[in-house]
Amino acid sequence: MDKILEVKDLHVNFATYNGTVQAIRGVSFDLNAGETLAIVGESGSGKSITVRSILQLLAKNADIAKGSILYHGDDLLQKSEKGMDNIRGNKISMIFQDPMTSLDPTMPIGKQVAEPLLIHNNVSKKDAMARAEEVLRLVGIPNPKARMKDYPHQFSGGQRQRIVIAIAIVDYPEILIADEPTTALDVTVQAEIIDLLKELQQKIGTSIIFITHDLGVVAGIADRVAVMYAGKFVEYGSVNDIFYNPQHPYTWGLLDSMPTLDTSEANRLNSIPGTPPNLLNPPKGDAFAPRNKYAMEIDEEEQPPYFKVSKNHYAATWLLHPNAPKVDPPASIKKRFEKFKELGGSVK
């Protein structure tokens, strides 16, 4: 598969009254044509900052201290604001979490959907409005021709999210970044939006970066998954690797806190104890060590490198070192290992 985006050793700092927050600490990943990459982790892990860096949509106190973001080999961090205006919403587009903060309450939705075409393409207003109607129909808005004159408050929450998606895809971008687009929606509408994104991906051939804290959502849309903690990726691999052969204790914790059909009153969900570290003063060793019951002395002293689990599966945990003691993961994770074997995988 062709790589269309490569993020290399990205470091992002924020200047605050209390000091410098090291929000992103050496993130690297790539995105292939036509695939969906999910980035998961707790709130504050750096997911949104990572993707906002791609479009240079960071706060004024942010500083991209190190790294490169290559789009077809062209470093976006070296582009001017005018150069980025030609990328944003045209080549790379973004869906934000809350549709009501993304939509203008004073403007009919037809004009809002058509606006990116008028900005990025030399098209007439008539043609732009016709394309807006076509895209609204594509995302499932009933009777789009009539409803183009309506305002955001006249739509349901799920329909407003569909309109935001329509705005993001009206230019048929090569990359679509979805920043927790289902968080504010109920479970039924969440499933509809996920199905819509998968359908649109097939129809317009876009690649997707999907940001979420909900691993349950990831299973239904992702090809590959990157697990993020304290400004770093701690594990990444295929969706099967992460769900059925996870190796990092943080990934174990996230999966162990997910409800399943086996969850009952007698078999309650577990939670990850403690809180993420303060990135004003990042820990010397593994940032997850204080919350990790499997932590060793070396975790307090040195950050673990990425250990290769399989061809495209890596995890940054000292538990994968050849000299590390063998530990028993939670019972729910053991069940996933067994499922992985059934799927034809191998657990070493």
pLDDT band of residue 348 (cuts 50, 70, 90) is very low
Question: Please, how many CA atoms are within 13 Å of residue 176, restricted to the half-sphere of its CB?
Answer: 27
Sheet containing strand 62-71, edge to edge, reads: 19-32, 3-16, 62-71, 74-75
What is the pLDDT, as a whole number, of residue 21? Answer: 97
Mean confidence (pLDDT) of the chain? 91
Residue 239 has pLDDT above 50, yes or no: yes
Q: Which domains does the chain possess?
A: 3-222 (3.40.50.300), 226-342 (3.40.50.300)
The enclosing H or E element of 283 equals none
Q: Vertex 165, ends 156 and 89: CA angle to 5°?
A: 140
| C-alpha closest to that of 277 among 38, 13, 45 | 45
pTM value is 0.91
What order of strands is seen across the sheet that includes strand 307-310?
92-95, 175-179, 207-212, 36-40, 224-229, 232-238, 313-315, 307-310
Let me know: does 334 contact 256? Beta carbons within 8 Å: no
* Cβ partners under 8 Å of residue 43, min gap 6: 213
Q: What angle in degrees, to the nearest 10, is found between the helix axes of 187-204 and 157-169?
A: 20
What per-residue confidence (pLDDT) applies to 144? Answer: 95
Structure confidence by residue, pLDDT tens digits, 56-99? 999 999 999 999 999 999 999 999 999 999 999 889 999 987 77
pLDDT at 261 over 70: no
Q: For residue 218, what pLDDT band results from cuts at 50, 70 and 90?
A: confident
Distance CA 319, CA 139 (A): 45
Q: Is the pLDDT of residue 128 over 90?
A: yes
Q: Which one of 158-172, 223-237, 245-259 scores highest in mean pLDDT? A: 223-237
Q: Which two tokens stand for residue 65?
A: 């201290």
Q: Which residues are 32's β-sheet partners? A: 3
pLDDT digits (tens, 9 = 90+) for 17-67: 999 999 999 999 999 999 999 999 999 999 999 999 999 999 999 999 999
Predicted confidence at residue 347, as pLDDT, reads 47
